[in-house]
Structure 1
Amino acid sequence: MDPLSTATIFLLFCLACLFFFVTKHKSSRTEKLPPGPFPLPIIGNLLQLYSLFPSFMELIPGPHHRLEKNIYTLQQFTLDEINEHKSTFDPSAPQDIIDFFFIKMKEGQNDNTVFGFDNLIATVVDLFAAGTETTSTTLRYGLLILMKYPQVQEKMQEEIDRVVGRTRSPCMADRGQMPYTNAVAHEIQRFIALIPMSLPHAVVKDTKFREYIIPKGTTIYVSLSSVLHDSTEFPNPKEFDPHHFLNKDGSFRKSNYFMPFSAGKRLCAGEGMARMELFLFWTTILQNFTLKPLVDPKTLDITPQFSGLGNVPKPYQLCALPR
């Protein structure tokens, strides 16, 4: 028999078996499951399977190679920092999370511990990336928006001059007396929805949600952007409007829909620090400078562009004029 014919018959047999098992599995479940990923023409859901064949992906040219190179560079930077900590490690006087991780590694030297070297690298990388990129991107995005809306910038400067003045630096105690500035800071984070998806959660038991059954163990990603852009809470969700966080009397309005730092047990651990940094940076900058674009403010494009896991501002030029 022709080898090609044999291979064809074998392939058809495998496909028939796969079809049989899939059909049997579907028929054994009576509940309605949530829809899966939407298939693309011709290739279907093949792209969702790339993680199963990493060696195959190495042969395919594309931007993912640059991403892998950047990740490797960050890991090497982290590894150098860990090795430096090893040389100065004193268990009686731990200095930071790396030193505390070393202590836990020595305490739990067994196969079931999560305090391993690979997890140490991953943890430090996560903290470094989450603690630098997110805040700096939000700051950059905020400066772009303030240039787009000079009237918002002027109102913030009036409030800063009235509450803080020009002779001292802003502090966190000022925030309670600055409802408009606080509202602008919240609206910037709501509008840009920097991280559209939250960290993964897992369903602890079979759960019925609306007309669907979500099986136990299913990984769940909360769509934060859908909450931040909910039209029932924010009348103009696609528009930048500080009044989304202001009452009619001008006081600050809290919203349970404000969750750029996610929610639940996996809430961002650095939320408090990030809020403090954003408020102090923006108020300090506007206390001392007026931000001007090099083009007509009306032509500035503040539409987010997706990059990696988040929304980032498009490149722009800024002129900071001393006040």
Structure 2
Amino acid sequence: MDPWGLTTTALLACVIFLTFFSLWSQGFKRGKLPPGPTPLPFIGNILQLDLKNITASFSQLCEKYGPIYTLYFGTQRTVVLHGYDILKEALIDQGDSFLERGIVPMIEDVVKGKGVVFSSGERWKQIRRFSLMTLRNFGMGKRSIEERVQEEAQCLVEEFRKTNGEPTDPTFILGCAPCNVICSILFHERFNYNDEKFLKLMNLLNENFQLLNSPWAQEKDNPQSEFDLENLIMTAADLFAAGTETTSNTIRYGLLLMLKHPEVQAKIQEEIDHVIGRNRVPSIKDRQDMPYMDAVVHEVQRFIDLLPLNLPHAVNRDIHFQQYVLPKGTTVFPLLSPVLYDDKEFHNSDQFDPQHFLDKNGKFRKSDCFVPFSMVKRNHSHLYLSL
């Protein structure tokens, strides 16, 4: 081999050695990290994951390394949590240490830590406080919001009637309805389903949701204030994304499940006829008298597993967790699928069955494992995901 070839080989060997040494020493010096597969230089553990079914890959790694293990996405250190007990220990028992939002490079390039879903620290606290206060002023949790939902539900029914019973794809109008509820809250105005601006908004929301779920995946004199135009815009976008796509997808999959399980559909109709009848609009107060419907809604959200990986979190300081030390800034993925499909809590969890949320007397049964949108202190309701 010529001298240039020897030099190139030596340099390549040095780069590989230094990369491995850097990754190893980073974990050694910063704390005792959970076990995990050995990462490759520069790309980490990407090649060891099935990106078409990353949830299954995570479950396989759990079988080998246990309910907590370390992965590297590129050079980014990530700790994965698998199962209800360890999620509760991290996100509830030590929840204050896991409040930061983990960094997703593709999203960070766009949002730049703005808004309420992907922000952290003092910015998140200020924007969250402002968002909840403003939403309450707009009627969140009050009669006025319920009336807007009821109005939009009637519009949705009218759109279905226009099909005259012909085969139709309901995806679009099922997305329009929850989006219009958010519009009525933020803009005090709903839109016709064929309005050009509304259609553009719907298209952008759909594209953003698909990207997020892909494997690659006001106070000028206060310098400490986070109330600027960019944060306001991003927070409004967060509310649309959280309230529109999650709700419309849940309704769409719920409709498909009703078509597949006509016996469930028949029981729902029987309860509706008994409690509500055919001459008035449903109200939130009816929920207490409709345990089967309540169970079906919960089972739909459990079964469809809309956010299997959850949104990433990060520890805001060096912490001792079980027998490990997680350095400040470590990204944490608290997986939701293993909790929603826990056979110890939900018998035959891979089957759609509303009985998962009913007791032997037919009364609604709550479950701590019902975590379709996480169990963390950031989360307050399915509509305002991760506020």
Specify the TM-score bucket, using the shorter chain as the normaliser. Answer: 0.5 to 0.7
How far apart, in 2, do the equivalents of 1:123 and 1:205 lie?
26
Does the 8 Å contact 2:31/2:325 carry over to 1?
A: no
Question: Is residue 243 from structure 1 mapped to residue 244 from structure 2 by the alignment?
Answer: no
Question: Is residue 218 from structure 1 mapped to residue 349 from structure 2 by the alignment?
Answer: no
How far apart, in 2, do the equivalents of 1:20 and 1:37 lie?
15
Evaluate the alpha carbon distance shift between residue 236 and residue 189 of structure 1 in structure 2; reply closer, same or farther with a 3 A threshold.
same
Evaluate the alpha carbon distance shift between residue 118 and residue 12 of structure 1 in structure 2; reply closer, same or farther with a 3 A threshold.
farther
Q: Paired residue for 2:220?
A: 106
Q: Paired residue for 1:287?
A: none
From 357, 361, 375, the equivalent of 1:263 is 375
Structure (1 or 2) with the larger CA radius of gyration = 1
Give TM-score, length-normalised by structure 2.
0.50
Deviations 1:278-319 (A, max 9, x none): xxxxxxxxxxxxxxxxxxxxxxxxxxxxxxxxxxxxxxxxxx
How far apart, in 2, do the equivalents of 1:193 and 1:145 lie?
13
How far apart, in 2, do the equivalents of 1:182 and 1:26 lie?
46
- 1:266 is paired with a residue whose SS is coil
Following superposition, the deviation at residue 25 of structure 1 comes to 4.9
Deviations 1:134-165 (A, max 9, x none): 10000000000001000000001001001111
Does the 8 Å contact 1:164/1:174 carry over to 2?
A: yes
Q: Paired residue for 2:11?
A: 10
How far apart, in 1, do the equivalents of 2:252 and 2:368 lie?
25
Evaluate the alpha carbon distance shift between residue 125 and residue 36 of structure 1 in structure 2; reply closer, same or farther with a 3 A threshold.
farther
Q: Paired residue for 2:91?
A: none
Give TM-score, length-normalised by structure 1.
0.58
Q: Paired residue for 2:249?
A: 137
Does the 8 Å contact 1:197/1:221 carry over to 2?
A: yes
- 1:240 is paired with a residue whose SS is coil
Evaluate the alpha carbon distance shift between residue 117 and residue 49 of structure 1 in structure 2; reply closer, same or farther with a 3 A threshold.
farther
Evaluate the alpha carbon distance shift between residue 145 and residue 26 of structure 1 in structure 2; reply closer, same or farther with a 3 A threshold.
closer
How far apart, in 2, do the equivalents of 1:124 and 1:37 lie?
40
Question: Is residue 151 from structure 1 mapped to residue 242 from structure 2 by the alignment?
Answer: no
- 1:265 is paired with a residue whose SS is coil
Evaluate the alpha carbon distance shift between residue 36 and residue 177 of structure 1 in structure 2; reply closer, same or farther with a 3 A threshold.
same
Evaluate the alpha carbon distance shift between residue 3 and residue 97 of structure 1 in structure 2; reply closer, same or farther with a 3 A threshold.
farther
How far apart, in 2, do the equivalents of 1:117 and 1:37 lie?
43
Question: Is residue 49 from structure 1 mapped to residue 50 from structure 2 by the alignment?
Answer: no
How far apart, in 2, do the equivalents of 1:37 and 1:105 lie?
48
Evaluate the alpha carbon distance shift between residue 97 and residue 37 of structure 1 in structure 2; reply closer, same or farther with a 3 A threshold.
farther
- Equivalences for residues 249-288 of structure 1 within 5 A: 249-269=361-381, 271=383
- 1:264 is paired with a residue whose SS is coil
Q: Paired residue for 1:229?
A: 341
- 1:239 is paired with a residue whose SS is coil
Evaluate the alpha carbon distance shift between residue 268 and residue 50 of structure 1 in structure 2; reply closer, same or farther with a 3 A threshold.
farther
How far apart, in 2, do the equivalents of 1:20 and 1:193 lie?
39
Fraction of identical pairs, as percent: 48
Following superposition, the deviation at residue 29 of structure 1 comes to 7.0
Runs of 4+ in 1 over 6 A off after TM superposition: 94-98
How far apart, in 2, do the equivalents of 1:138 and 1:35 lie?
36
Does the 8 Å contact 2:343/2:349 carry over to 1?
A: yes
Does the 8 Å contact 1:199/1:266 carry over to 2?
A: no
Evaluate the alpha carbon distance shift between residue 149 and residue 221 of structure 1 in structure 2; reply closer, same or farther with a 3 A threshold.
same
- Equivalences for residues 294-305 of structure 1 within 5 A: none
From 170, 187, 205, the equivalent of 2:299 is 187
Q: Which has the higher contact order (CA 8 A, sep 6+)?
A: 2
How far apart, in 1, do the equivalents of 2:273 and 2:288 lie?
15
Does the 8 Å contact 2:312/2:333 carry over to 1?
A: yes
From 168, 187, 190, the equivalent of 2:280 is 168
How far apart, in 2, do the equivalents of 1:168 and 1:260 lie?
31
Does the 8 Å contact 2:319/2:326 carry over to 1?
A: yes
Q: Paired residue for 2:34?
A: 34
Q: Paired residue for 1:286?
A: none
Does the 8 Å contact 1:262/1:268 carry over to 2?
A: no
Does the 8 Å contact 1:190/1:228 carry over to 2?
A: yes
Does the 8 Å contact 2:30/2:327 carry over to 1?
A: no
Evaluate the alpha carbon distance shift between residue 159 and residue 220 of structure 1 in structure 2; reply closer, same or farther with a 3 A threshold.
same
Following superposition, the deviation at residue 168 of structure 1 comes to 0.9
Following superposition, the deviation at residue 8 of structure 1 comes to 4.2
How far apart, in 2, do the equivalents of 1:171 and 1:137 lie?
22
How far apart, in 2, do the equivalents of 1:252 and 1:269 lie?
19
Counterpart residue identity of residue 173, structure 1: K
Counterpart residue identity of residue 234, structure 1: F
Listed as ranges, the gaps of 5+ residues in structure 1 are 52-66, 73-93, 99-103, 275-323
Evaluate the alpha carbon distance shift between residue 231 and residue 208 of structure 1 in structure 2; reply closer, same or farther with a 3 A threshold.
farther
